[in-house]
Amino acid sequence: MIQLENIQFGYVKSRPLFKELSLTMEPGHIYGLLGKNGAGKTTLLKIMSGLRFPEKGDAIILNENACLRKPEVLQNFFFLQEEMYVPHLKIDEFEKAYAPFYPNFSHDQFVEYLRELELDKENGYMDKLSHGQKKKVLIAFALATNTKVLIMDEPTNGLDIPSKSTFRKLMASAADDSRLVIISTHQVRDLHSLIDMVAILDNGHMLLNASSFEITEKLLFDVDNMKSAEGKIFYSEESPRGNYQVKENVNHIESTLDLELLFNAAISNKNEISNLFK
């Protein structure tokens, strides 16, 4: 559904952000795109969306070149940016203005999502709402468009605690086999239960692109060697609850994926983690 082939891109020619970056993303998954500040997550999302043009390589979305920004593609694609733009419109005016562009938009779903996020259409002008409320309106709209590809950049930034759990619930209900959802985030604890594919971007390359099943099959997330004392330790972290570890899962023991530990393990053992998932 999204295919990036040998992408090369940089804001400064002498310092490319991506070098020969390749990535394939399939429908039916919720991808978590992780990376350090400045790793290029937002830029990568923009390249997928046809908002930035790679210097070399191809960005293919829904079998079309993303750079062409074809209406048939844009109708089936929604990009929820981190710094949102909301026009000076009421929620129902916004719906009237922009819903007609999306053939699969559902008014009933939009109303339902707004209700779940504790917003209603009488909330006044969107640009006068708080940051979190603006985000909620756009999340509800994005989900109601029922596009095949949904890209969200830091969607939980600015959401209060109850809204984060509502967001997870809505996302889980909106995900289906025909839909590809990509979430770029630093707030991995908000979304770890939601994400079933993890992509880690580092230094212009994809360090890791694997399913949560594959990750827990190869890596063991343990506390104080309770599950196993075997396997090479890639990362450990002291905490009041014990010593959290990420190690090689030599005995194929089941464990729960911890995205934050995984990320730290991957960043501190780039080559080993990368080779493990090749």
Binding site for other proteins (CB under 8 A): 46, 49-53, 69-71, 74-75, 77-79, 81, 83-85, 87-89, 93, 96-98, 100-102
Distance in angstroms between the alpha carbons of the first and the last residue of the chain = 21
Q: How far is the CB of 142 from other proteins (least distance, A)?
A: 11
| E-only strand ranges, 67-138 | 77-80
**Nearer to other proteins (CB atom), residue 43 or residue 269:** 43
CA separation for the pair 268, 88 (Å, rounded): 46
- Counted residue by residue, the chain has a size of 278
- Report the residue number, 55 or 118, with the smaller CB distance to other proteins: 55
- List, in order, residues 6 or more apart from 158 with CB less than 8 Å away: 130, 131, 132, 135
Nearer to other proteins, 46 or 247 (CB): 46
Shortest distance, CB of residue 231 to other proteins, whole angstroms?
Answer: 44
Instruction: Report in angstroms how near the CB of residue 182 gets to other proteins at its nearest.
Output: 15
Q: Which single residue is written with the structure tokens 């995205």?
A: 259
Question: From CA 40, how far away is CA 106, in angstroms rounded?
Answer: 33
Closer residue to other proteins (CB): 86 or 233 = 86
Which one, 8 or 75, has the nearer CB to other proteins?
75
Query: What is the smallest separation between the CB atom of 58 and other proteins, expressed in angstroms?
Result: 16
DSSP label at residue 223: E
CB hemisphere CA count around 230 (13 angstroms): 6
Any idea what DSSP says for residue 146?
T
Q: How far is the CB of 236 from other proteins (least distance, A)?
A: 40
